[in-house]
Amino acid sequence: MRNPLLRPLTAALLALSLTAGAQALGPEEGPLTPLSPEAEHPETALAVLEQLARHHYVRRAIDDTLSSDTLDHYLDALDPQRAYFLEGDIAQFERYRYTLDDALRRGDLAPAFEIFNRYQAAAEAQLVALLAFLESGIETLDFSKEEYLAMDRSEEPFLASAEAREDLWRRRLKASVLSLKLADKADDEIGPLLEKRYKNRLHRLKQTTAEDAFQLFMNALAASYDPHTQYFSPRTSENFNIQMSLSLEGIGAVLRVEDEYTTIASLVPAGPAEKSKQIKPSDRISAVAQGADGEFVDVVGWRLDDVVDLIRGPAGTTVRLEVLPPDSEAGAPPRVLSLVREAVKLEEQSAQSEVIEVPRGQDTYRIGVIDIPTFYIDFKALQQGDPEYKSTTRDVQRLIEGLRCEATEATEEPDADDAAPCEPVDGIVIDLRNNGGGSLQEANALTGLFIEAGPTVQIRSASGRVDLFNDEDGQVAWEGPLAVLVNRLSASASEIFAGAIQDYQRGLVLGGQTFGKGTVQTLIPLNRGQLKMTQAKFYRVSGQSTQHQGVIPDIEYPEVYDRDEIGESTLDDALPWDVIRPTRYRRGPNLAPLLALLEDRHETRVETDPDFAYLEAMVERARARSARNRLSLNEAQRRLEREEDEALRLAIENTRREAKGLPAVASLEALEKDDDEASEGQDGDSTEDATIKAASALVEDLESDAPSELDEEEDDEEDRDALLAEGAEILVDYLSLRQTAAVSAP
């Protein structure tokens, strides 16, 4: 898979924050001007090369192999879908395959700019050709022909001729027109809309600077080391520093450019986007509007920093987005959502707890759930000596104290003498789903709440030196049954914690294989911009790396995230999984004898669970859709495909509803309408129905589903988080098996 961090024309992931507005753009006159390096670029290139050679975790020689890899990354970044360069262009670029390293040593950027200018010329020619096609009128396009467009050309050969390239561009235009027709756009709207889109892109192409070309080439070099090493230009550095601050204002999303779309890379916990429950990683933004009634601006094909400027703005203001889920049918109408920009407050990212009751026969078990959205710490308050500074570990310890003896709710305040007795929980689930990491210090301290003492993680530097993080206080906040719930978006610090709990055999790890981000980056200031460079790797106390492979759960759930699209293993040149010497640590009782029994009980239970059956069906549907690599340009065929897909989605939903004793719905439109009404009735804080979420994207955890019908008696059933509920069931199984083993022991 191509590295999504290297999409034109930037390699940085930018948070939408602080205040800046996009300026109105007027028409751009004159031909495209070839770019050449700025005076500071050779010195900066030499500085980047020196830092990589001396301090990167991977010690690579500056040689012909690095030169070849850099060229491949550069071509992939410029032309990921092989729609611009011809075979003849590539043949000419081959003379640089083994000489870019020599040119870099001299500070010679001429080859990089020659290739970039060739790309710019082809991109300009494409837009001019598309505008010419539109001038002839979209009515000249024949949508009754059996014609197809490859949906992914990243592994295809480069085109052999200008005629073949022009035919590809014609098919792309035809696909765009057909998509708009299927989205119920009138013919007299489609031409002007696409004309405006292409003119905007042409204008932005002519705004491309030498800094853009330089940043892209430096990132091709950096990506040859690993996908998390990146050069940030001065403008990108400013945006990255904003992203890393705690005083975020905006929608709370991290973006990347993938092909022509601005795509959601991740969501900031407790940010407006995350709290809306209407936008998810891998969603694509097609248009942006300001305020409650501002006109939508089509942003397909825009530069990432321009999209960032358009979306971010002052706290309290409104931005509206048109969003397309990653597996939406081509031509499906975008979902429109409205977000109020606001500061992301640390306290809103705090861990939260709840109690799930699990009935078993005559008994009811109480399972505490602690949801940790990120590993946070208020460094400023800590440095100022504030004894009440906020941190993940402090908050979780306080929550555990409450769960150990949580009072039964009463309708009125009881007297001290007749207060309801304390009812502690029987087990605890730590929910790390979608937790992308954070403070390493907090991952170490949080692990210490569940083990008496010992190492928690090993960190190996480029020199081979291994340092240990340890828990040394000898205190344990919770000694009872423990489970950790993870998924594909659990990364970095989450993987350190889950891996340590698994290695110590302190608890069960449940869910999906984690992201696999096991490297450590450092920001290095340069004479111009800065370099984010990988300088170390994380290893579990068992010696296994968390890199690339992540943490494999003891009991795996259906994979709701596509592992071919999300995760470290999907990135080009990701550092490999490996092992080092294990450190000394004291394991708990062996869990292996219980895992097979727990797995059997889990499988038996979910076989008849309508939510799990629904999830499996939606996953299967999404896999089938993602396996397609041809898009029909025949209108009748496409309409038939859409009808069949909607019928399948509706059948899957009604199968689930029937199994749960809920009334069937007549159409997906009716279901979405009811869901929107339910959401409006709850001030926009509830999520949309699980059907709509999963029908529009593979990313669906069946979490906190909002009621989709008007009958309030359905609320409890529809509001169930199936994956979390099953985690509580497994923990009760573990508790009962452990008790049985203790009773039967001699």
Residue 568 is classified by DSSP as G
Looking up tokens 């001065």, which residue turns up? Answer: 234
Spatial distance between the Cα atoms of 638 and 566, rounded to a whole number of angstroms? 28
Q: What does DSSP say about strands 363-371 and 427-431: parallel, antiparallel, or unpaired? A: parallel
Spatial distance between the Cα atoms of 383 and 33, rounded to a whole number of angstroms? 52
CB 470 within 8 A of CB 416: no
Number of other CB atoms surrounding residue 73 within 10 Å? 25
Tokens of 595: 């895992």
- Identify which of 724, 729, 687 has the alpha carbon closest to the alpha carbon of residue 704: 687
174 is catalytic: no
For the chain, domain boundaries:
4-27+34-230, 236-344, 350-588, 606-724
- Identify which of 208, 151, 183 has the alpha carbon closest to the alpha carbon of residue 298: 183
Q: Give pLDDT, residue 385.
A: 86
Q: Give pLDDT, residue 460.
A: 96
Angle between helices 64-78 and 110-135 (to 10 degrees): 20
Specify the 3-state DSSP secondary structure of 535.
strand
492 is catalytic: yes
* DSSP-assigned states of every residue in 328-357: PPTTPPPEEEEEE-EEE-GGGG--EEEEEE
For the chain, give the longest Cα–Cα distance. 90
* Helix or strand run (H / E) with residue 296: none
Which residue among the candidates 224, 328, 439, 492 is catalytic per the annotation? Answer: 492
Which residue among the candidates 517, 532, 537, 693 is catalytic per the annotation? Answer: 517
Number of other CB atoms surrounding residue 664 within 10 Å? 11
Q: Give pLDDT, residue 286.
A: 87
Q: What does DSSP say about strands 284-290 and 261-267: parallel, antiparallel, or unpaired? A: antiparallel
Tokens of 272: 């407006």
Q: Give pLDDT, residue 347.
A: 59
- Identify which of 693, 661, 667 has the alpha carbon closest to the alpha carbon of residue 679: 693
Fold of 236-344: Pdz3 Domain (2.30.42)
Query: ∠70-76-81 over CA atoms, to 5°?
Result: 170
Tokens of 107: 């500070």
Q: Give pLDDT, residue 400.
A: 96
User: Residues 542-560: pLDDT tens digits?
Assistant: 999 999 999 999 999 988 7
Specify the 3-state DSSP secondary structure of 658.
helix
Spatial distance between the Cα atoms of 353 and 371, rounded to a whole number of angstroms? 6
Query: pLDDT below 70 — which residues of the chain?
Result: 1-30, 238-249, 259, 327-332, 344-348, 406-421, 672-720, 741-746
CB 728 within 8 A of CB 356: yes
Query: ∠633-635-640 over CA atoms, to 5°?
Result: 110
Length of the chain: 746
CATH number of 350-588: 3.90.226.10
| pTM of the model as a whole | 0.79
Enumerate helices (H) and strands (E) in the chain, giving the number of each: 22, 22
Tokens of 618: 């939606």
Distances (CA, A) of 571 to 384, 543, 576, 697: 40, 23, 11, 21
CB 314 within 8 A of CB 341: yes
Q: Peptide bond preceding 403: is omega within 30 degrees of 0, i.e. cis?
A: no
Number of other CB atoms surrounding residue 3 within 10 Å? 21
Bridge partners for 7 per DSSP:
10
Residue 545 is classified by DSSP as B
Bridge partners for 545 per DSSP:
539
Q: Give pLDDT, residue 710.
A: 28
CA 417, 420, 426, 432: dihedral to nearest 10 degrees?
-110
Spatial distance between the Cα atoms of 50 and 304, rounded to a whole number of angstroms? 28
Which residue among the candidates 503, 554, 562, 705 is catalytic per the annotation? Answer: 503
Amino acid at 534: T
Tokens of 25: 């753009």
Residue 522 is classified by DSSP as E
Specify the 3-state DSSP secondary structure of 321.
strand
CA 486, 492, 493, 496: dihedral to nearest 10 degrees?
80
Q: pLDDT > 70: what percent of the chain? A: 83
